[in-house]
């Protein structure tokens, strides 16, 4: 067993017991079974990771262009290779003293002095030291916890006489075979043993790419735990009581009045989605619907209609957004619609003065605040709703899982639950909908309002900045407005990126007759709001900003978006930023300024963004790049919820595991509980968010 001592560094990884160690499966494997000559590696560098060995013939600490350790090794065939470290310790210098024989593993690249490995894995060994006979597992680690200490703890765990019994088979084999007829699955104990200690006879390639039967068994086990948890959450939700609202708007209510004076016609997609929401609100159990639609598709109007319908039934509605800018955008738009009908929305954010906050909280508590709009301040202590019937969460993926749980728990009434409508301009890839969003009904607005024209996206090298500024001037002459987005606020020596402040000053100098504004995250809330309102009012023609304007800013007159150092932004960030233009009838353009030194991944990302505006395509690419944790906000929970499943390529496995979970819940409820306890423990709550 791993020591229970709180001073044990393994506890940082959650390794408290033999069971924890056994379930701490490798994240990848290193193939240390082969040894290459330095000459053969140099002739084919860039192809794959290589392992070589040789004697240290030189060692030197260099100080230009920065402090670094340079080591040169030579093998028995006369080949020489540079090894370089940008961060190093005296113990490493001692380990790699001249004359020492080293075995090193890493990627070879063309360096300043010649072919080199940067920060390779190093072992001091004798020249005839045997090579491992099988793959070497590599585990997720943390500061102060080495791979060696993790391997030792796992090896010790496997000597625990009680460990095998903890992995006794609990899944009915007949149902397992029925759901996965094409797979020959090992026992759970055998699978775990194989993945920690692969043997010579195992297919190394399938072990590495996670298609080996041992991995398949683990993937099914993990997916099954998640699917069971989500379906239990759904069943629990369907058993709870919520306000049942009428399908038809209340006669002479604010919703009916609003619909009568609505200055535009709902699109077909908006009408379809609105009917889906109405059906949910008419049910006796709480709605849990995700409304997704690309930037500019008109999700806010659905939120407004839902809130009015709730208010008409005598209950409060709340809209929560991740940033003040987005929350204020909702507040201003909804206030303009509702004030003429006698409804004054309540505004609540963290930046309010103490008295303003107390006044807002009082209106919420006594029920006079029929519509409450704000940031995460809505789920903080001191906020008590009187009769909350509907919670709308915008850009829901930007809130951590724990924050969404807080909202759910905070607003649950003693007798009734409130309905929840979540909105996102980042479409959810199919595999995420099947796994993490299995308890959500999903509505999609797949049609842009009339008059919207697709945004043209152009890729422009950074050296052509002057041409971009000239083009910007032409756009301004037409009476249009422009966004110029920068990734950093102040100078970074590491990235050497142009800053928002520098760009602001440069544009002011280049266009003295143009009013340029600057907004970024370090401005005080009132300063930021003043700049934003001046831009909305047309008083500022060019707005230089960081990504604080990523969501929520609606200025139809803005027709040009310039994104500086676009290679530093992710798929969804650029897609969201691009959505700030193209909101009027004029043809809009998004220019992605990029540095010529691009990685292959950055080139692919920018090219994809140039070629498509399909949010679903971009979401799939984003999932492949960042994984589900960041997209869902689940990293804030401290637990990765699917560690062993590749969501991009396992549609079939997910579908079949979902079928398995349904059968187990129906016929083997005691098995499902044991399975959840083994795989999820306390993390099950996060899957119900």
What backbone torsions phi and psi does residue 581 show, to the nearest 5 degrees?
-110, 170
Q: Are 81 and 54 contacting, i.e. CB atoms less than 8 angstroms apart?
A: yes
- CATH number of the domain at 34-131, please? 2.40.50.140
What backbone torsions phi and psi does residue 422 show, to the nearest 5 degrees?
-105, 140
What percent of the chain is modeled with pLDDT above 70?
A: 87
Q: Worst-scoring range by mean pLDDT, 114-123, 147-156, 594-603?
A: 594-603
Please give the sequence-ordered ranges of beta strands (E in DSSP) within 481-635, or none if there are none. Answer: 481-485, 516-519, 542-545, 558-563, 589-594
If pLDDT is split at 50, 70 and 90, which confidence band does 683 have? low
**CA torsion sign, 665 to 668 to 670 to 672?**
negative
If pLDDT is split at 50, 70 and 90, which confidence band does 636 have? very low
- Mean per-residue pLDDT of the chain: 84
Residue 122 vs residue 682, higher pLDDT = 122
**CA torsion sign, 263 to 420 to 641 to 398?**
positive
What backbone torsions phi and psi does residue 141 show, to the nearest 5 degrees?
-135, -175
193: Cβ contacts below 8 Å, ≥ 6 apart: 158
Instruction: Using the structure block, give the residue that is written with the tokens 């009428």.
Output: 246
The number of angstroms, rounded, from the C-alpha of 370 to the middle of its chain's C-alpha atoms is 33
What is the Cα gyration radius of the chain? Answer: 29
Q: What is the pLDDT of residues 264-283, one digit of tens each?
A: 889 999 999 999 999 999 99
Q: Worst-scoring range by mean pLDDT, 144-158, 205-219, 302-316, 425-439?
A: 425-439
- Look at domain 456-612 and name its CATH class: alpha beta
Cα-based distances in Å from 620 to 490, 493, 571, 626: 32, 33, 10, 10
How much is the average pLDDT of 586-605? 87
191: Cβ contacts below 8 Å, ≥ 6 apart: 185, 213, 214, 215, 217, 218
**CA torsion sign, 345 to 349 to 353 to 359?**
positive
Residue 497 has pLDDT above 70, yes or no: no
Residue 3 vs residue 625, higher pLDDT = 625
If pLDDT is split at 50, 70 and 90, which confidence band does 631 have? very low
What secondary structure letter does DSSP report for 597?
-
448, containing H or E segment: none
If pLDDT is split at 50, 70 and 90, which confidence band does 670 have? very high
Q: Worst-scoring range by mean pLDDT, 116-125, 354-363, 445-454?
A: 445-454
3-class secondary structure per residue, 113-170 = CCEEEECCEEEECCCCCCCCCCCEEECCCCCCCCHHHHHHHHHHHCCCCCHHHHCCCC
Cα separation, 676 vs 684, whole angstroms: 8
How much is the average pLDDT of 396-406? 52
3-state secondary structure of 270: helix
The pLDDT value given to residue 162: 93
How much is the average pLDDT of 681-687? 50
Q: What is the pLDDT of residues 186-228, one digit of tens each?
A: 999 999 999 999 988 888 889 998 999 999 999 999 999 988 9
Q: What is the pLDDT of residues 503-548, one digit of tens each?
A: 999 999 999 999 999 988 778 877 887 888 899 889 999 999 886 6
3-state secondary structure of 235: helix
3-class secondary structure per residue, 323-344 = CHHHHHHHHHHHHHHHHHHCCC
Right CATH for 254-445 from 3.40.50.300, 3.40.1360.10, 3.30.70.20, 3.40.50.150: 3.40.50.300
Q: List the 121-124 sheet strands across, edge first.
A: 108-110, 115-118, 80-85, 68-74, 50-62, 101-106, 121-124
CATH 2.40.50.140: which residues of the chain? Answer: 34-131
Q: Are 68 and 84 contacting, i.e. CB atoms less than 8 angstroms apart?
A: yes
CATH 3.40.50.300: which residues of the chain? Answer: 254-445, 456-612
Residue 488 vs residue 687, higher pLDDT = 488
CA neighbours within 13 Å on the CB side: how many for 75? Answer: 18
């Amino acid at each position: 067993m791993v020591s229970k001592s709180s001073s044990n560094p393994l506890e940082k990884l959650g390794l408290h017991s033999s069971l924890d160690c056994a379930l701490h499966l490798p994240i990848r494997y290193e193939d240390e079974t082969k040894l290459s000559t330095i000459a053969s590696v140099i002739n084919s560098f860039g192809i794959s990771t290589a392992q070589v060995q040789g004697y240290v013939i030189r060692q030197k600490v260099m100080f230009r262009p920065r402090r670094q350790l340079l080591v040169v090794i030579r093998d028995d065939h006369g080949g020489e290779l540079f090894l370089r470290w940008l961060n190093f310790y005296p113990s490493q210098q001692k380990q790699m003293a001249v004359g020492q024989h080293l075995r090193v593993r890493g990627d070879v690249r063309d360096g300043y002095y010649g072919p080199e490995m940067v920060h390779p894995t190093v072992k001091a060994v004798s020249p005839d030291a045997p090579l491992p006979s099988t793959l070497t597992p590599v585990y997720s680690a943390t500061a102060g916890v080495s791979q060696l200490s993790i391997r030792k703890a796992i090896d010790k765990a496997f000597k625990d006489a009680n460990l095998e019994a903890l992995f006794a088979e609990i899944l009915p084999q007949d149902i397992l075979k029925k759901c996965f007829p094409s797979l020959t699955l090992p026992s759970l104990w055998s699978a775990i043993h194989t993945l920690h200690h692969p043997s010579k006879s195992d297919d190394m390639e399938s072990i590495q790419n996670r298609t080996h039967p041992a991995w398949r068994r683990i993937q099914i086990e993990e997916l099954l735990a998640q699917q069971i948890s989500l379906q239990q959450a759904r069943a629990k939700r369907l058993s709870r009581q919520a306000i049942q609202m009428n399908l038809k708007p209340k006669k002479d209510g604010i919703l009916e009045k609003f619909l009568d004076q609505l200055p535009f016609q709902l699109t077909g997609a908006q009408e379809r989605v609105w009917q889906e929401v109405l059906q949910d609100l008419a049910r006796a159990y709480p709605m849990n619907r995700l409304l997704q639609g690309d930037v500019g598709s008109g999700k806010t109007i659905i939120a407004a209609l839902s809130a009015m319908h709730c208010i008409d039934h005598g209950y409060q509605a709340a809209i929560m957004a991740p940033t003040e800018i987005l929350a204020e955008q909702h507040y201003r738009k909804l206030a303009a619609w509702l004030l003429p009908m006698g409804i004054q929305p309540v505004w609540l954010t963290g930046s309010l003065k103490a008295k303003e906050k107390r006044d807002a909280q009082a209106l919420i508590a006594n029920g006079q605040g029929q519509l409450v709009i704000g940031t995460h301040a809505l789920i903080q202590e001191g906020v008590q709703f009187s009769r909350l019937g509907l919670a709308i969460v915008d850009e829901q993926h930007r809130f951590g899982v724990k924050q969404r749980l807080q909202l759910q728990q905070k607003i649950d009434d003693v007798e009734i639950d409130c309905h929840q409508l979540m909105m996102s301009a980042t479409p959810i890839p199919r595999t995420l909908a099947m796994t993490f969003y299995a308890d959500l009904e999903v509505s999609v607005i797949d049609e842009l309002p009339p008059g919207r024209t697709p945004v043209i996206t152009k890729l422009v090298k950074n050296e052509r900045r002057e041409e971009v500024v000239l083009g910007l001037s032409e756009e301004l002459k037409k009476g249009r407005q422009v966004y110029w987005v920068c990734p950093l606020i102040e100078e970074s020596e590491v990235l050497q990126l142009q800053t928002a402040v520098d760009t602001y000053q440069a544009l002011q100098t280049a266009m003295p007759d143009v009013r340029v504004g600057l907004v970024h995250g370090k401005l005080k809330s009132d300063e930021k709001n003043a700049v934003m309102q001046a831009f909305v009012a047309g008083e500022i023609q060019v707005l230089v900003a960081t990504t604080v304007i990523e969501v929520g800013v609606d200025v139809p007159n803005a027709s040009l978006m310039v994104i500086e150092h676009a290679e530093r932004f992710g798929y969804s960030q650029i897609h969201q930023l691009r959505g700030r233009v193209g909101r009027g009838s004029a043809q809009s353009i998004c220019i992605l300024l990029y540095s010529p030194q691009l990685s292959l991944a950055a080139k692919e990302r920018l090219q994809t963004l140039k070629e498509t505006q399909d949010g679903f395509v971009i979401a799939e690419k984003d999932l492949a790049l960042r994984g589900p944790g960041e997209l869902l906000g689940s990293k804030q929970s401290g637990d990765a919820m699917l560690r062993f499943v590749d969501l991009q390529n396992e549609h079939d496995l997910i579908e079949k595991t979902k079928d398995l979970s349904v059968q187990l819940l129906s016929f083997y409820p005691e098995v499902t509980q044991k399975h959840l306890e083994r795989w999820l423990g306390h993390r099950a709550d996060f899957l119900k968010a």
